[in-house]
Structure 1
Amino acid sequence: MLQMKLTFKAVEGHEKYLGLPTYIGSSKKRVFQAIQDRVWKKLKGWKGKCLSQAGREVLIKAVAQAIPSYAMQCFRLPKSITDGIAKMCRSFFWGQKDEEKKIAWVAWEKLFLPKKEGGLGIRDYDIFNRALLAKQAWRILTMPHSLMARVLKGKYFPSSTFLEASVNPNSSYTWKSILSVKDVLLKGACRVIGDGRNTNIWNDPWVPNLSNFRVHGKDGSRSANVP
């Protein structure tokens, strides 16, 4: 009724909310293609300018790498998208224009190293994406009373812990993305023992001097350091 009086158009659905897609269908590449296009527009505008490699490095780090960071905190971008962005940055860095070919004097992967190790500190998009999602997973694990953790726990793992949670067919793509990097936490997460009531000494990672922090190995065998 209010809409008719004020004569404004009703919004039937929101394709995006705060710049992020609200619905992820089967074609994830199509959904996230806009991110790659935004990076391409930036790089295309810089290609005609006379920039040194140092200037290209700064632009890649400050702008091209910053554009997908927001979405990477919530979603696992398809490998084809991250590889496409990396390819555009690589071409821009070595000074390629249109279809021309320029010599790449150093392997692109070596530029991922810190400057003190001979690289430039340029990010690997896929690894950076996993790191940002692992940060969200760590927040759920260490801040269980936060709003995000309580909402996700109530919906996806109400009767278990985050490390025991699994993906079901009705899970959102955000939840699937966060769970896809749970192995990153498991590699270095060690339980701090309190009163011991909630700790399973045989299966939980709690022993600091063992390789996987567990008394039993992945195959169920006893760790070598355990008497």
Structure 2
Amino acid sequence: MTTLDNHRASALPEPENGDGPARGGTVEYVLDHLRNGVLQGRYAPGQRLIEADLTRDLRVSRGPLREAFRRLSAEGILEIVPHRGALVRRLTLREMKELFQIRLGLETLAARLAAEAMADPETKAQFEREIETIWDEHPRPPGAEYIDENHQFHDAVVAASGNEQLLKLTRQLRLPVLMYQLAGTLKTENIAASLAEHRAIARAILAGDAKLAEEHVRDHLQRALGVAHAMPHRVFAR
């Protein structure tokens, strides 16, 4: 948060009924509200976000709201359109396919490098710590928690590769907006299949089997692409 945003946030009165943001946390409050709103379907892909409505409903000023818009635009969740304002970003089916193709090449490389890196005990121990939640077999419902866990696993694989540029590239291409775009149509069985694939990838990496790790990542992303491709056409921009 910038100094200006801190000043604006601290200048806001505390809500008398306890609802709304606490001082110093206004931008984060707006970010959480908007992210969850997109995820839960309150704000649909392609929808314009009206500043006047949000400042009234969230009881915040325009400064923190616009900073939240800027951050979410940088994350790929919103897009700022001249003379229209902030819209929930909506990928086309073609964009989704192209991004998956790029991820496929980068993440299979990352898996191979990560498997080779398991010869180093410290790297292996760090990887085991970062992926420990995948071994918990309790069902995950569609939502922000699963999206975060999914991102953390893929980040852990790439981080274990030791290639910092690869990590930067994959983070840019991990399709945050697509995950939010598809969240409303994901099913519990899709998530269960994804988690099982994460475990297979992890086992291959931990065993130092670079070829098998690559194969599992390729199968995982191709299945995910198939799930996304089977979504209703209304999910995607034209």
Between Structure 1 and Structure 2, whose CA radius of gyration is higher?
1
Bigger proportion of residues as helix = 2
On whether the aligned pair clears a TM of 0.5, the verdict is no
Q: TM-score range by the shorter chain?
A: under 0.3
Structure of higher RCO (CA pairs closer than 8 Å, 6+ residues apart): 2
TM-score under structure 2 length normalisation: 0.23
